[in-house]
Amino acid sequence: MIIGQDQKYLAALIVPNLEQIEAYAKENAITYLDTESLTKVPEIMELIQAEITERINPKTGFRPFEMIFRSILLPKPFEAGVELSGKMDYKRHVITEMYKKEITDIFKD
């Protein structure tokens, strides 16, 4: 989910594919306690941000104000009835409230 309304830049809340991240960690000898803790490992966070930057940049047709400068990896997928509506739409107000601390931290300069 892209966030950043009324901020200097855009950021993203990302629900990663934990199985693929775990496989990457094993291939690259990255130590971790459990699958969810992988979302806090700097190498994994850098990998995801590099993927975002590779796909969302001026060369691929995005304007500078559309760039995603920071991201947060969430440890669990969004759930229907909690963060998602019955139609599987984001409940932005719920997500914003649930991850308020993380969102505040991402926009600290």
Q: Does residue 109 register a pLDDT over 80?
A: no
13 beta partners: 72
Give me the mean pLDDT over the 50-77 stretch: 94
Residue 20's pLDDT is: 92
Give me the mean pLDDT over the 48-60 stretch: 95
Residue 45's pLDDT is: 93
Q: Does residue 67 register a pLDDT over 80?
A: yes
* Residue 49 token pair: 């941000």
* Residue 34 token pair: 């459990």
Residue 108's pLDDT is: 87
Residue 61's pLDDT is: 95
Q: Give residue 82's pLDDT band: very low, low, confident or very high (50, 70, 90).
A: very high
Q: Which residues have C-beta within 8 Å of that of residue 22, sequence separation ≥ 6?
A: 35, 38
Task: Give me the residue label for tokens 């500078």.
Answer: 64
Nearest to 87 by CA among 96, 78, 100: 78
DSSP label at 77? -
DSSP label at 74? -
